[in-house]
Amino acid sequence: MTTLHTALAAVAAASVLAMPAGAAEPATGFVRISTDITLRRIVVAPAKPKGTVLLLHGFPETALAWNQVARQLGADYEVHAFDWPGYGGSSRPPLARFTYAPRDYARVVQQYIRAAGIDSRNLVIYATDIGGLPPLLLALEEPGIARKIIVGDFAPLDRPQYMAERLRKLKAPESAQATRAAINQTYREIIGNAFQRGLPAGSQFQVSPEFEADMQAGWQRGGMSSGDAFYHYYSHFTRDQVYLEDNLARLSTPVRVVWGALDIYIDKKMGEEFAARSGSPFAALPGLGHYPHLQDPQQTASEIRAAFD
């Protein structure tokens, strides 16, 4: 394990050890899912889990975004979270073999589930932001990949009008490179302010110092930053959004859509349209922004628990 891997693992362990009574202790480590990709992951494994939960983070997060949700669920469910390739302590595979597109991330989800030995029949996936599209793409090809998929605050459809200006610029080829450069130049500010930006004073919240340090420590590795991975994701984003929309009739895995009503990055109209088009239930979460799992982890845990009923 590299020195950076060791440091990131230590930060992760420090941030998730305080668990409620009856919860299993988390294990932080690494799992190789392919020749090019090793993922840093966090697993909470109680003795008699009622089911398994896989949590998929967004930008600019790492797996530590889920530490509070894991605390809520860890007494009853086996909980998994990993860093996407390009984030945190996970690999930065070469572009010649991995394009960081949503469909590449879909394959990562599939490979992780298999490598971790997860029984898909009793699995709930909760995914947000860039994590939302990949499991849906996977479900088109493998409907039994999960018992239910909960998605929110993401962009499943090619509707730039529902997205914040910087995201629209990253999506447009003529402005994407300049936006990529700006993200990399200002990443410390992004990490420091992205989570409360746009929220009214009464809804402001702070992420833990351990989580913020983890995002900072894992931003740049192996010649590729998390901002670069984000850019490459977006360079293929429209193609994969269009593919999902064209094939929505084939989406048979049960899906629930949840959305922070105050999300300034992706308007809840995106979620409403996707829910209507896919025949999925939709819930707008009052007072919450783009990161409901950080702002109100208890609400997120409740959504996940309900998916097992």
pLDDT at 1 over 50: no
| Domain 3-307 belongs in CATH node 1.10.10.410 | no
Angle, CA 151 vertex, CA 14 and CA 43 arms, to 5°: 30
Per-residue confidence band for 27, with pLDDT thresholds at 50, 70 and 90: confident
Position 7 scores a pLDDT of 44
Q: Mean pLDDT of all residues in the chain?
A: 93
Domain extents in the chain: 3-307
Q: What angle do CA 72, 76, 80 make, to 5 degrees?
A: 70
86 vs 92: CA distance, rounded Å: 5
Q: What pLDDT, on a 0 to 100 scale, did the predictor assign at position 9? A: 45
pLDDT at 24 over 70: no
What pLDDT digit, counting tens, does each position of 242-251 carry? 999 999 999 9
Residue 184, pLDDT above cutoff 50 = yes
In DSSP terms, 283 is beta-bridged to: 258
pLDDT over 70 (residue 154): yes
pLDDT of residue 85: 98
Q: Provide, rounded to the nearest whole percent, the portion of the chain with pLDDT above 70.
A: 92
Closest CA to 247 of 153, 163, 139: 139
pLDDT digits (tens, 9 = 90+) for 91-115: 999 999 999 999 999 999 999 999 9
Residue 23 pLDDT class (50, 70, 90 cuts): low
- Tell the burial category of 111 from Cβ atoms under 10 Å away from its Cβ (0-12, 13-18, 19+): middle
Dihedral sign (CA 234, 252, 128, 168):
positive
